[in-house]
Amino acid sequence: MQDGRDAAIEREADTVNLTLLIGVACAILFFRAARYERMSPWAWSLASVGVSAILGMRASGVTVMLVGQVALFALMWWYNVRRQGRRQG
């Protein structure tokens, strides 16, 4: 019985480590993308870390984390398109 519990704890630790790695990688991605688009890189990185933290506390799983980061990227894309339209028009 002890082996089953140890294996479950080890799987959860692996999931937490992978989720943390994805969160850090996405924060770096958002920082670089925002800097490239001449937006506030720290704000978007902080938003990515916030999404990672909130989703990490509320739901466990890599898929949930990736969906949240994709949604944040869609928000960034929409904001950038709107901002460029305002500059041109």
Compute, in degrees rounded to 10, the torsion defined by CA atoms 41, 47, 52, 58. 180
CB 31 within 8 A of CB 6: no
Kindly report the pTM of this predicted structure.
Answer: 0.73
Summarised one tens digit per residue, pLDDT across range 5-31 is 766 666 666 666 777 888 899 999 999
The phi-psi region of residue 40 (left if phi > 0; otherwise alpha if psi is between -120 and 50; otherwise beta) is beta
CA-CA distance, 72 to 51, in Å (whole number)?
8
In this prediction, residue 78 carries a pLDDT of 93
Q: How confident is the model at residue 73 (pLDDT cuts 50, 70, 90)?
A: very high
Q: Is 37 helix (H, G, I), strand (E, B) or coil?
A: coil
Nearest CA to 60 among 18, 24, 28? 18
Summarised one tens digit per residue, pLDDT across range 32-71 is 999 998 889 999 999 999 998 888 788 777 888 889 999 9
